[in-house]
Structures are given as C-alpha cells and as structure tokens.
Amino acid sequence: MSNKAATQVLLERLTETNGFSVRNSSEKDAYWYTSGKPGPFYINTENIAGEHAAEVILENITNLLKDNLSREHQAGAILDIINQAVDADQAYNASIDALLDYYKLNNTYKPTIISGGERRDWFFSIPIAKKLQVPHLFLFKSGDYHITDHEGKSIELELRDMSALHVADIINLASSYLKRWIPMLQNLGVAFTETLSVAVRSQEGIDNLRKNNVSVISPLIVDRPLFTEAYNLDLINEFAFNEIGQFYDSPKDWTRHFLAENNIEYSQALNLDTAKKDRIEFFKSSDPYHLKSEFPLFFA
C-alpha cells in the first residue's frame, strides 16, 4: 500500500463515520472547538472504530477507569474491548492495517514495545501492538502504567533496554506528551524517539515534540493539502473546500464572515449540548478576535 492509499483509506473511513466532518453549506453551524473558537471542520479519529462503537467503547473505558479495580483488571478489560471491536468490524481492522502500512513505509525503526496513553490512544496502540506481536504499555493519566504481552497477558518487564513507539489518536499541541507521556517513558528508562499518530491537527504539536527529540509519523496531517485531497476524492464539497481555504488564510476573517452570515439563533436553539453552550459563552466573553464592536447583537 502506498502512502497515498493509506491516507485515503483512513480519510474515507473517517468521513463515513463522521469522524471527519466539514461545514458543507452556509445553513450548517460551525464546529465549536475546545479552545472556545469556531471553525469549519472537525476531526475525531476514534470514530475509525465506528461512530456508535467509538461512543460505547469510550463510555465503557471511562466506567472501567472509575471503578475501584486493579490496573491489571482495567488493562485486561480495555484490551478485550478494543480487540473485540477490531475483530468485529472489517473497516476498523482495515484502517489499522493502513496505519501500520503507512508506518512501515516511512521508517525502519523496530519498536520492541508500543505505548498508548489514556484513553483515546488505546483505540490504535492496542491493535498495533497486537499486529506487531510486541508488548503494550498502558500509560494512565495518574502516572501509573501497566504492561501486557503480545497475547494480552499482564507481565512484569525490564523496560530499560526497550524502544517504544508511542501510538496516538491525534496530536494537537502535544500537551499530553509534554505533561505526561514523555516524563513517564523517561522515568521508565525506555528509549522513545518516535510517535505514530493517526492525525496531526497542528504543526505546533510536531514542533513541540521535535524540541523533545521525538519525531512524528502521521498519514493525516490536517492542513490545506489534506483538504485538497479530500476535495479531489469527492469527500468534501466546493463550499467546504473554499471556506476551509479562507479559514487557513485567516481564522479571524473566516469567523467574521461566519458571524455576518450566520442565522443560527443560539439563544433560541433548544438542542445545544452543554459543552457547545459553554464554548459559545466563552467565545462571547473572551472575544478572542475582537469582533464585539462589529457584532453587538451576537455578543449581547
């Protein structure tokens, strides 16, 4: 499989499962990001497991982590959930193969262990470890870790001579690496110079990792060329393609244009989820682009 083919498999799967979604008409609302700013597209790579399946899996993982169970029990249960989901869905399995093919095409490093961080990395790190027949290192946000062997059994392992490949769902600013995964891997004495991520949302994340001597391999670098590819593959329409171009030229100008055309009455919208409501409120109160004087009614 070529690099291009791997990217296409993943992009198509994400489009089918609404893991990659764009604003394809002026009637459609913007996506409100965690930063509290709006934008014309969004990417949620865990949907590669299936839109509904991803939701159920995440909920199950969250519940397992809440329960007062041993890390061994939690890791075993999470591993079973993910492996069963991959076995049950040919398209999820094919996406993991595409990701692994992409990795193999782009380097010669031979990891002896795969690491993955709580929670979404595990959708990818667990099946990649299984396919490479190497142990999996679960990294928990608390700082705990747990190792399973290539068959999924819990093991004790001397990590000092091992080389880890950290597999992730998406890199944004790489804050989870800087705050947690890099210090944890360093403390364990594992060599760690490379990470495979399904997608990269921002060049800043790649730069932050480079400063820490970690190089990034990813089939989906979310930037203009990826949207050109999506457009050429007919995965996004002309409206979306043009406005994403505007957004990359200037997020502020795109936002101004969106607010000028936007006829969505947020105050009247009944089905707004809490997260979205909070993000819109934060946008209004922080006014990151200084647009309040131009849109007094919206900011009122």
Question: Interface with ligand PRP by CB under 6 A: which residues?
Answer: 118-121, 168-177, 205
Residue entry with tokens 């667990």 = 126
**Rounded distance, CA 292 to CA 214, Å?**
41
For the record, the structure tokens of 109 come out as 């490093």
Is residue 113 within 8 A of residue 160, CB to CB? The reply is: no
- Beta-carbon contacts of 205 under 8 Å, excluding residues fewer than 6 positions away, are 171, 172, 173, 174, 216
Least distance CB 54 / ligand PRP (angstroms): 11
Residue (17 or 176) nearer to ligand PRP, CB: 176
User: How far apart are CB 82 and ligand PRP at their closest, in Å?
Assistant: 13
Asked if 170 contacts 201 with a C-beta cutoff of 8 angstroms, the reply is yes
Closest CA to 185 of 231, 223, 139: 139
**Residue number, 1 or 58, with CB nearest to ligand PRP:** 58
Q: How far is the CB of 170 from ligand PRP (least distance, A)?
A: 5
Query: Which residues does 60 contact at the CB level (< 8 Å), separation at least 6?
Result: 81
- Nearer to ligand PRP (CB atom), residue 200 or residue 280: 200
In the bound state with ligand PRP, the residue whose beta carbon lies nearer, of 174 and 230, is 174
The nearest distance, CB 45 to ligand PRP, in angstroms, is 8
- Whichever of 33 and 298 has its CB closer to ligand PRP, that residue is 33
Report the residue number, 164 or 259, with the smaller CB distance to ligand PRP.
Answer: 164
The smaller minimum CB distance to ligand PRP, of residues 2 and 142, is found at 142
We find the least distance from the C-beta atom of residue 196 to ligand PRP, in angstroms, to be: 13
CB of 71 to ligand PRP, least distance (A): 16
Single-letter amino acid, residue 29: D
C-alpha pair distances (Å), 211 with each of 102, 121, 215: 24, 22, 9
The answer to whether residues 214 and 195 touch, using CB atoms and an 8 Å cutoff, is yes
> Per the structure block, which two tokens stand in for 196?
């495979």
Smallest gap, in angstroms, from Cβ of residue 182 to ligand PRP? 11
Q: End-to-end alpha-carbon separation of the chain, Å?
A: 53
Contact 42, 33 (CB under 8 A): yes
Rg of the chain taking only CA atoms, in angstroms = 20
CB atoms inside a 10 Å sphere around CB 100? 19
Q: Which is nearer to ligand PRP, 105 or 173 (CB)?
A: 173
Let me know: does 182 contact 214? Beta carbons within 8 Å.
yes
